[in-house]
Amino acid sequence: MFDRIMGKYLLEKGRLTKEQLSAVYQIHESKRAKLGVIAVSEKLMTVAQAEEINALQATMDKRFGDLAVERGYLTEMQLGYLLSLQGNEFLTFTSALVEKGHMTLEDVDAILKEYQQEKQMSDEQMTALKNCDVDFIVPIFTGTDDAEYNDIFRYGIKNIYRLVDAHLAIDNAYTAGNVKGECIAYQVFSGDISATVALIGKNEELQKMAKGYTKEEFIETEEDALDAMCELINCINGLYATDRSKKGKKIDLDPPYFITKFGEIAGDQFRVMPVYCCGAQGLLVVALGGNVTVK
């Protein structure tokens, strides 16, 4: 996540071209593989075991390594070894910038300080960003102290990161009373906590995200893409509802729905977060309370 957020910032500031950033990402990717890929290549897990853990992540809000240890496929020591091989995202990305000759270490330090000052982030928040700690990163961008908003956004971004594309960037959420889009996938839930959660974007953008989620190339129509996005939203809300049930909160999920050919979410003030992944852009919308309409 750090690499995409900072890469986007460097593009916006004119410090890198798209071609230069693409070359940096290629070096970065060559030095940082997925944990499951490393585990299989190191013969610490089988392909079947890695695929099982990947599937479990769609139903459990846990990291690959933690699930592998719980299942007995890895020991804590083996997990630590694999994490050391995977490398730190912040270090591999900044090293790639220097390796390509686009920036010096002094330049990197200066741009990080500039970013921190511009975004008004604390040292603790910058450390969370560098460590790709999604639980701590998301509230930096929500712009609210509301615990439910922050938690729902956490589940949304964590699962897009885990299940769709780890090369994910987000922007600061903003407040809106209505938001329109070409395609909308959404779900309403009610009970002790009521909310509407939606993904909004252009058809071609959501198709890219859908392919990232399903890992299939069959996504060719609006309906295919939105079906996949509805499934993703249902996964996000299901994990959130399960977590809240452990705390004594009852939540009932309605079936997810989608709208094509332009729709609108309107109601009381809610929050909208821009999301960038799979080479696409979408909006993650979270509206607390029941005074929301989708049409």
pLDDT by residue (tens digit) across 233-244? Answer: 999 999 999 989
Contact 197, 237 (CB under 8 A): yes
Sort strands 263-277 and 169-170 into parallel, antiparallel or unpaired.
Answer: antiparallel
Contact 187, 257 (CB under 8 A): yes
The confidence score (pLDDT) of residue 173 equals: 95
Average pLDDT over residues 129-133: 85
d(CA 181, CA 164): 21
pLDDT beyond 70 at 96: yes
Question: How high does pLDDT run on average in the chain?
Answer: 89
Q: Which residues contact 49 (CB under 8 A, 6 or more apart)?
A: 68, 71, 73
The confidence score (pLDDT) of residue 14 equals: 94
Q: 134 - beta bridge partners?
A: none
